[in-house]
Amino acid sequence: MTSFTNKNVLNLLKNLPRLTISNLRNNDGAVKKNKRGRAQHGGDKHGHGNKGSKARQNFMRPGYETGNTPFYMKFPREQYYKDHNVKRQYPPLSLYNLQKMIDLNRLDITKPIDLSALCNTGLYNINPEDKHFGVNLIDEGADIFKAKINIEVQWANEPTIAAIEKNGGVITTSFFDINSLFILINPKKFFKRGEAIPRRMIPPEDSILYYSSAANRGYLADPEKISWERFVLAQKYGYILPKIEDDPDYEMLVTRKDQRQIFYGLEPGWVVNLKDKVILKPIDSQLKDFYRS
Amino acid sequence: MALRMFYKNAIITSGVSLRLNNSICKRDSSYRSSPFALDPSHYAKFEVTSVPEEWKFVERLIPSKIIPAPPNSKDLPSGWQPQTTQFGKYPYFVHRTRNHMLPVYLKVSMRGMRRITQIKNVDGDIWALEVALKKHLQHLYGEKKIIATKVHEVCGHLFIHGDHVMKVCEWLIKKGL
């Protein structure tokens, strides 16, 4: 309180410089000069060390610690991705893309859809050389899916199965060994080779449970159990299961391949001649026995 | 090699049994060294059938050589929209791809840091399209946002800096392109 009465202090305040535009400036380091220093002005290494990948514009792979034992290799751990390079792959196809194919007349839904129909559109492709073993139908776009189809895929999850069965369709998961797969994805190329259609092999040990499970709509499962699982899924997802028996496309919807069959309607052992448009069938009893399911 | 071929031919013409022929046959790398095909009586018995019902199963496996015409319907479940605008309504035109899709793509480079929206198949006055699209995006994002564009007039490509694929697609569909 005394300072207000002190005239010397007031005089001091009067003579001190005012805060004006002429003496305003930024805090130190507030403005960074966006320039690379040259020569003695910080022009040596620019904070990038001496030579090597870090001095150049090189982005090291994730986890690499420039010669140290990387953190991910230091400790014993559960190898989640062990043998990932030999595991079977199922490239995904979404229900949204499937619906788009159907809308644009790329797929004929009056006939059963299998992998060869999908590959013949030219919009979906698998490469068995990269350990692709078929199509994984994923549930993206399950809400907009409206088509009634009979589809055979290699892998499907529960929401996908529900989305297809809700519209009165049928889905089957089935396994094709690599030899059958090469034939299935390009049937024209196979027919031109003039060979007999081989038998489809049964699934390997690690996937036989998947393909014989009714919940996965496996092709080796008991049909009666499948119809029960269809009902269970309808209860779970809360929709009324359309009756296939009353459907006008009943014949199409119940069409299924035999477990040894690769194509619909063509049996193993037959030779297709595309030029003369004839099918050669074996009548030798030994051959018939060999190709029998 | 030539001697073996001669020997084999001699065997076939002289009618020696197939078993003997097979026993001396050695498959080299060339197909010329493989045995000659004999008449069908030497092989497994088969019948030749041409049943139209069975041939239908073969026909459905042969891929179509043409892409089918797109539907005219506007309310498809997938949300695909047909191209309704006539050529010439706007000074510019964006053709659909051969699969009847919009030719709008996202190009990602620089380790995912640079994202560029590319519009292909542009016909007519590409500069007018650039102005119109820039105006629309500026309206959506506000005046402060810089919408940098690049025009490749010869190829009919328009590049916009940033990921605007969905917004460009919506704008094109709204215009009926």
pTM (2 d.p.): 0.78
Please tell me the predicted confidence (pLDDT) of residue B28: 61
Q: Indicate if the pLDDT at residue A27 is higher than 80.
A: yes
The closest CB to that of B61, out of A59, A96, A263, belongs to: A263
Please tell me the predicted confidence (pLDDT) of residue B9: 52
Q: Looking at chain A, which residue has its C-alpha nearest residue B100?
A: A104
> Virtual CA dihedral for A100, A104, A109, A113, nearest 10 degrees?
-60
Average pLDDT for residues A232-252, to the nearest whole number? 95
Cβ contact, residue pair A145, B77, below 8 Å:
yes
The closest CB to that of A100, out of B44, B49, B78, belongs to: B78
pLDDT > 70 fraction of chain A, expressed in percent and rounded: 98
What distance lies between CA A138 and its chain's CA centroid?
7
Cβ contact, residue pair A106, B69, below 8 Å:
no
For residue B169, the chain A residues in CB contact (below 8 A) are: none
Mean of all residue pLDDT scores within chain B: 86
State pLDDT tens for residues B118-139.
999 999 999 999 999 999 999 9
The closest CB to that of B44, out of A191, A274, A284, belongs to: A284
The answer to whether B175 touches B85, Cβ cutoff 8 Å, is yes
Average pLDDT for residues A224-242, to the nearest whole number? 96
Query: Which is the CATH superfamily of the domain at B92-175?
Result: SUI1-like domain (3.30.780.10)
Whats the size of chain B, residue-wise? 177
Cβ contact, residue pair B57, A105, below 8 Å:
no
Q: A120 to chain B, minimum CA–CA distance in Å?
A: 5
State pLDDT tens for residues B35-57.
778 888 888 889 999 999 999 99
Give me the phi and psi of A268, to 5 degrees please. -65, 145
State pLDDT tens for residues A131-163.
999 999 999 999 999 999 999 999 999 999 999
- B92 SS3 class: strand
For residue A103, the chain B residues in CB contact (below 8 A) are: 71, 76-78, 80
The closest CB to that of A277, out of B50, B68, B99, belongs to: B50
Mean of all residue pLDDT scores within chain A: 91
The answer to whether B103 touches B95, Cβ cutoff 8 Å, is yes
State pLDDT tens for residues A37-92.
788 887 888 777 888 777 887 788 888 888 899 998 899 988 888 888 889 999 99
Q: How many CB pairs under 8 A join A and B?
A: 93
Q: Could you tell me if A60 lies within 8 Å of chain B, comparing CB atoms?
A: no
If one compares A237 and A17, the residue with the highest pLDDT of the two is A237
Please tell me the predicted confidence (pLDDT) of residue B157: 96
State pLDDT tens for residues A270-281.
999 999 999 999
